[in-house]
Every structure is written in C-alpha cells, then in structure tokens.
Amino acid sequence: LLQELCMRRGISPKYDLLQIEGAVHEPTFVYRVTVGEFAANGSGQSKKKAKHAAAKAVLDIIIQGGAAGAGGPTAGGAPGAPPELSTQIVSPYDDGIPGNPVGSLQELCMARRWPPPTYDLTSEEGFPHERTFSIACTIGNTKEIGTGKSKKLAKRQAAYKMTQRLKDQPVEQPQVNMLADDDDEVIHLNDLPC
C-alpha cells in the first residue's frame, strides 16, 4: 500500500536496517522507512515483518497527518478521521505466532529426550498465485497439521500447534534399565578369585 501511494506521487520509500536485537536463533530486526518528510520505525522477527511494521507506522503518520490538515500529525486523530491503519492492514506474512515455534519445538523435544519432529507437505491447493499449503508435524504417534499461504507459514503453524499440545503432557521419567545393574553384578562376581 505504501509503495503504491509513493508511486502515485513519484517518490520512493527508503528502508534502512537500524539494528538486530536478541539471540542469534531468535533475532528481532528494526527498520526505519523514510518517505519525504515522514519517517517511522518498525520491528519484527524477520526483515520482511520489520519492513511491514515500519510501512504501517509511516502510513499511519501520513493518514493521520492528512486528516489533521496542515497542522501535522495528531496524537488522538481528528473527528471523522479514518481509524488507525495498523488495525486495518494485516500482512499476509504475519501469522500472529510469536517467536520461533519451529526452534521452540525442537528445544522441547531435546529437553524431553524425544525424537526430533518431522515435517511433511500433505497438500498444496489453489491457483499458482494463491496457493494454500498444509504441512504435518509428527513426533512419535502425535501429529498436528498447519496451513498457510507459504510452506514456511504452514510449518510454523504446525510446530506451534504441536508445542501447545505437548506442553500439557507430563514429562515421562526415564525408565531405569534393570539389566544393566544385573550385568554389573555378574561382572563383579566373575572378577572374584576362585
């Protein structure tokens, strides 16, 4: 939307990466977008999400500024002004799932000494420009299916569903192998002099 608005006015938005925060496996990117005299920052779990957040913020400023007239952007918005854009615009790449569900599920499996999850594409539907993917996440006999506009989003949703399902299950105590103890005793008996 911002790109289209700028094209009509013959200007181009400028995106600058300001910083990368957080752990290596779960970074948060911060971008600044500048359009003429307007500038805004946005952050997200990926560069794309950070750019979308920055674009939403600058569009908000532009719309609010336009509604306020020549006085500049307003904090509360003038009566009859359009509602805040961030509530209207939803990125198709934003699945609403916080963080990195695929990595979190992997860590959960490692902590509980379970086999790692496997991901399999179960279906691919729709026109080439409007695909919907379904991916199955399997751990042992447990299976969850996620769907999304991309394979990545479907995988994230499947991992998130699996994590939510497994969080409620109790952690099983490892079974003690009684044979190992018996074998140790046998070895000690054989070591005794006759």
DSSP states of 40-58 as a string? Answer: EEEEESSHHHHHHHHHHHH
Do 83 and 105 sit in the same domain of this protein? no
For 139-188, how does the pLDDT look when each residue is reduced to its tens digit (9 = 90+)?
988 899 999 888 999 999 999 999 988 887 766 644 444 444 544 555 55
Q: Are 13 and 80 part of one and the same domain?
A: yes
* Among 36, 57, 87, residue at a domain's last position: 87
Query: How far apart, in whole angstroms, are the C-alpha atoms of residue 86 and residue 94?
Result: 13
Same domain, yes or no: 17 and 77: yes
Domain contains 186: no
Would you state the pLDDT for residue 167?
80
- H or E, element range at 68: helix 47-68
pLDDT at res. 32: 92
* Whether pLDDT at 55 is above 60: yes
pLDDT at 169: 73
The answer to whether the predicted template modeling score (pTM) of the entire model surpasses 0.75 is: no
One domain, residues 81 and 146: no
Give the span between the Cα atoms of 135 and 145, in whole angstroms.
6
| pLDDT number for residue 190 | 54
Tell me whether residue 93 is in a domain. Answer: no
Residue % of the chain over a pLDDT of 70: 71
121 and 62 fall within a common domain: no
Angle 65-68-70 from CA coordinates, rounded to 5°: 80
The span from the CA of 15 to the CA of 76, in Å, is 27
Q: What is the pLDDT of residue 85?
A: 43
More confident residue, 62 or 110: 110
Confidence category of residue 20, pLDDT binned at 50, 70, 90: confident
Q: Tell me the CA distances in angstroms from 27 to 15, 44, 103, one per residue in order.
A: 18, 8, 12
Report the CATH number at residue 134. 3.30.160.20
Let me know if residue 78 belongs to a domain: yes
For 106-144, write each residue's pLDDT tens digit. Answer: 988 888 888 899 999 999 998 888 889 999 999 988 899
Residue 17 within a domain? yes
Query: Integer distance in angstroms from the first to the last C-alpha of the chain?
Result: 90
When divided into structural domains, the chain yields a total of 2
Residue type, 180: A
Domain range spanning residue 40? Answer: 2-87
Pairing of strands 142-148, 118-125: unpaired
Q: Both 60 and 105 in a single domain?
A: no
